């Protein structure tokens, strides 16, 4: 199930308001509870494997901060960041001119291939039928990856699930991911509110 026009409108309006309130140099503009919250999740995400020299797709790249974090940890990699919010892409290009950023929906990709597909915080905003839509997004991410996929989600055990935030049951996510691959790993020791999923070929 693809994102509807109304879904995209709601997502864009929410993050535009965050961007206006906090500006491009604050992690709060992306809905994070500060910079440390963002960095902790990035560190967990990069445990997916050795990304040196790899082609990486960042889904829901926001202001491009994962690109910067990657550049602090790896010397060579090919990066593409995509996001539904055009203002995020515009600002990401200003913050990180060496990065490659596009205003694009992951579900619009056809035959492109990346070594790793990563996504941080892109499946937290509550929309109608969110499970079907975000599960389709995960499926597409894995299809586009030749080596592996990594993404994080809010954990129902430690984070509220309300009208704004979507928190997930780990067992349900595990069951869905096993329909894609038997090679998976889940880590949750870095935050009581979050967990990260690794899917491998």
Q: Distance between CA atoms of 198 and 106, rounded to whole angstroms? A: 18
**Cβ pair 30, 63 in contact under 8 A:** yes
Q: What percent of the chain has pLDDT over 90?
A: 77
Question: Residue 162 above 80 pLDDT?
Answer: no
Q: Give the C-alpha distances (Å, rounded to integers) separating 127 from 31, 167, 191.
A: 15, 12, 24
Lowest mean pLDDT, pick from 20-24, 75-79, 107-111: 20-24
Can you give the pTM of this predicted structure?
0.92
Band of pLDDT at residue 111, cut at 50, 70 and 90? confident
Question: Residue 34 above 60 pLDDT?
Answer: no
- Parse the chain into domains and list their residue ranges: 5-200
**Cβ pair 164, 125 in contact under 8 A:** yes
Q: What is the tens place of the pLDDT at every residue in 143-157?
A: 999 999 999 999 999
Kindly state the average pLDDT of the residues 54-64.
97
Say which residue, 174 or 34, is predicted with more confidence: 174
Domain boundaries 5-200, corresponding CATH code: 3.40.50.150
């Amino acid at each position: 199930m693809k994102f509807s026009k109304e879904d995209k409108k709601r997502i864009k309006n929410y993050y535009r308001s965050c961007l206006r309130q906090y500006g491009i140099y604050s992690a709060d503009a992306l809905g994070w509870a500060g910079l440390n919250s963002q960095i902790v999740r990035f560190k967990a995400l990069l445990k997916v494997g050795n990304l040196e020299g790899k082609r990486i797709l960042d889904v829901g790249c926001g202001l491009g901060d994962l690109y910067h974090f990657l550049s602090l940890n790896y010397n060579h990699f090919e990066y593409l960041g995509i996001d539904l919010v055009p203002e995020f892409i515009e600002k990401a290009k200003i913050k990180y001119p060496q990065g490659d950023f596009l205003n694009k929906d992951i579900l619009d990709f056809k035959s492109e291939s990346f070594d790793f597909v990563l996504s941080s915080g892109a499946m937290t905003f509550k929309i109608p039928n969110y499970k079907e839509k975000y599960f389709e997004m995960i499926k597409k991410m894995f299809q586009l990856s030749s080596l592996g996929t990594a993404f994080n989600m809010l954990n129902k055990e430690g984070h509220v699930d309300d009208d704004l935030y979507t928190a997930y049951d780990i067992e349900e996510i595990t069951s869905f991911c096993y329909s894609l691959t038997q090679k998976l790993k889940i880590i949750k020791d870095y935050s009581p509110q979050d967990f990260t999923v690794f899917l491998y070929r």
